[in-house]
């Protein structure tokens, strides 16, 4: 159980005591054209002040889910509630409090960055000064450049900037870091963290494991329109049973390597890897010496030996039997 920390409420926003849900949905489903089931019964609860991630491979239904929650796509079934309201009612009033960045938007190329941001800000009764948002997204030196002249990463950052323009309470970011270089990516993480520190809530989608692991307070792993695991990253990894992964490769290849690994003390799971083996263990200090002893007994030379902490990638592979990336 992770305690919900919600120390500072957003400015001017009265929050009721305890962890209110910023987003809640039950049995959410979407069927395209009456046959393609993109989302098949999703239950989610995003708490106020947290960063929640939807993690999943291409086509998992992340965009479909987030767009239904944004009120841009009509669900085929289920219930949802955003900031305590549902989309049937006062949509405009709700939108004043949301910041949205779609997976793919091509903003007007003839406008400058500053003009674009000013335009988006003008739709909100209360908005942040464009200069300030530009500075935060490190687009200050591009303020007077036409959008058509920006690089892909800069456009991506501008898209996030337009989401921040209206001083939202709840931020929806659909793959905000796809196409960003590592530095811009980390800088965007910083923006997200600052936003949640200020009391804001974030729902983002990603297919980067490391991003989900480091940035999100909690996340849901989505596969084929369903949530296959949900919780804090550390919790998900812990539930997998092993904290460490040993990767080993011998020279020449040892035929019974997988079997040796499986019989190691504390071994949780074994995946044959390229010409070697990966084994997940709970305690390195007992498993590793035993592995080395076994290999020595076999007279096999080590080609490679490495250990790492269990990652979300391992969780995904464990749950689906597939790599996250190759789809």
Ligand X SMILES: Nc1ncnc2c1ncn2[C@@H]1O[C@H](COP(=O)(O)OP(=O)(O)OP(=O)(O)O)[C@@H](O)[C@H]1O
Nearer to ligand X among residue 27 and residue 198 (C-beta)? 27
Phi, psi (deg, nearest 5) at residue 94? -70, -40
- Using CB under 5 A, pick the residue from 63, 154, 177, 280 that binds Mg ion: 63
- Using CB under 6 A, pick the residue from 59, 91, 179, 253 that binds ligand X: 59
CB of 102 to other proteins, least distance (A): 6
Tokens coding 153: 């990463």
Nearer to ligand X among residue 66 and residue 267 (C-beta)? 66
Strand partners, 221: 55, 229
| Piece of 22-30, 112-120, 184-192, 217-225 that binds other proteins (CB under 8 A) | 112-120
| Piece of 48-56, 70-78, 207-215, 281-289 that binds other proteins (CB under 8 A) | 70-78
Nearer to Mg ion among residue 62 and residue 169 (C-beta)? 62
CB of 188 to other proteins, least distance (A): 18
| Piece of 101-109, 137-145, 222-230, 252-260 that binds other proteins (CB under 8 A) | 101-109
Phi, psi (deg, nearest 5) at residue 123? -80, -15
Nearer to ligand X among residue 32 and residue 123 (C-beta)? 32
**Separation between Cα atoms, residue 110 and residue 113, nearest integer Å:** 10
**Separation between Cα atoms, residue 294 and residue 298, nearest integer Å:** 6
The answer to the question of residue 63 lying near ligand X (CB under 6 A) is yes
Nearer to ligand X among residue 60 and residue 220 (C-beta)? 60
For residue 86, with 0-12 CB atoms within 10 Å meaning exposed, 13-18 middle and 19 or more buried, which class applies? middle
The answer to the question of residue 32 lying near ligand X (CB under 6 A) is yes
For residue 176, with 0-12 CB atoms within 10 Å meaning exposed, 13-18 middle and 19 or more buried, which class applies? buried
Residues in the chain, total: 327
CB of 317 to other proteins, least distance (A): 33
- Using CB under 6 A, pick the residue from 157, 207, 218, 244 that binds ligand X: 207
Sheet of 276-281: strands edge to edge?
A: 267-273, 276-281, 244-251, 301-309
Tokens coding 97: 């409090």
CB of 208 to ligand X, least distance (A): 11
**Separation between Cα atoms, residue 311 and residue 300, nearest integer Å:** 28
**Separation between Cα atoms, residue 294 and residue 308, nearest integer Å:** 21
- Using CB under 8 A, pick the residue from 7, 16, 88, 92 that binds other proteins: 92
CB of 147 to other proteins, least distance (A): 11
The answer to the question of residue 176 lying near ligand X (CB under 6 A) is no
Nearer to ligand X among residue 62 and residue 169 (C-beta)? 62
Supply the DSSP symbol for 147.
G
The answer to the question of residue 32 lying near other proteins (CB under 8 A) is no
Which CB contacts under 8 angstroms, 24+ apart, belong to 228-233?
Answer: 228/319, 228/320, 229/315, 229/319, 230/44, 232/2, 233/312
Torsion sign, CA atoms 240, 246, 250, 256: negative
Q: Kindly list the residues in this chain that would bind Mg ion in the complex (CB under 5 A).
A: 62-63, 103
Q: List interacting residues with other proteins (CB under 8 A).
A: 11-12, 70-72, 92-93, 95-96, 98, 100, 102, 104-108, 110-111, 115, 118-129, 132, 146, 162, 166-167, 198
């Amino acid at each position: 159980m992770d305690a919900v920390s919600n120390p500072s409420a957003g400015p001017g926003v009265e929050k009721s005591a305890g962890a209110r849900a910023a987003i809640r949905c039950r049995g959410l489903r979407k069927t395209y054209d009456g046959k393609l089931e993109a989302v098949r019964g999703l239950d989610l609860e995003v708490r106020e002040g947290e960063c929640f991630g939807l993690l999943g491979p291409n086509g998992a239904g992340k965009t479909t889910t987030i767009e239904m929650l944004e009120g841009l796509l009509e669900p085929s079934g289920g219930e949802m509630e955003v900031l305590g309201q549902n989309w049937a009612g006062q949509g405009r009033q709700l939108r004043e409090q949301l910041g949205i960045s779609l997976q793919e938007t091509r903003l007007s190329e003839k406008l400058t960055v500053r003009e674009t941001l000013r335009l988006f800000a003008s739709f909100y009764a209360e908005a942040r000064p464009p200069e300030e948002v530009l500075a935060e997204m490190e687009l200050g030196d591009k303020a007077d450049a036409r959008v058509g002249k920006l690089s892909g990463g800069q456009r991506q950052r501008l898209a996030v900037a337009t989401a921040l323009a209206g001083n939202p309470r709840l931020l929806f970011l659909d793959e905000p870091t796809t196409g960003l270089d590592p530095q811009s990516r980390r800088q965007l993480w910083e923006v997200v963290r600052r936003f949640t520190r200020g009391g804001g809530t974030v729902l983002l989608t990603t297919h980067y494991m490391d991003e989900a692991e480091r940035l999100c307070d909690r996340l849901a792993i989505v596969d084929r329109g369903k949530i296959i695991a949900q919780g804090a990253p550390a919790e998900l990894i812990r539930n997998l049973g092993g904290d460490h992964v040993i990767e080993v490769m011998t020279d020449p290849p040892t035929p019974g390597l997988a079997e040796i690994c499986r019989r190691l003390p504390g071994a949780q799971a074994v995946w044959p890897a390229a010409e070697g083996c990966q084994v997940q263990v709970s305690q390195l200090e007992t498993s590793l010496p035993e592995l080395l002893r076994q290999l020595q007994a076999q007279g096999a030379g080590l080609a490679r030996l490495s250990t790492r902490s269990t990652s979300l990638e391992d969780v995904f592979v464990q749950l689906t039997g597939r790599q996250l990336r190759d789809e």
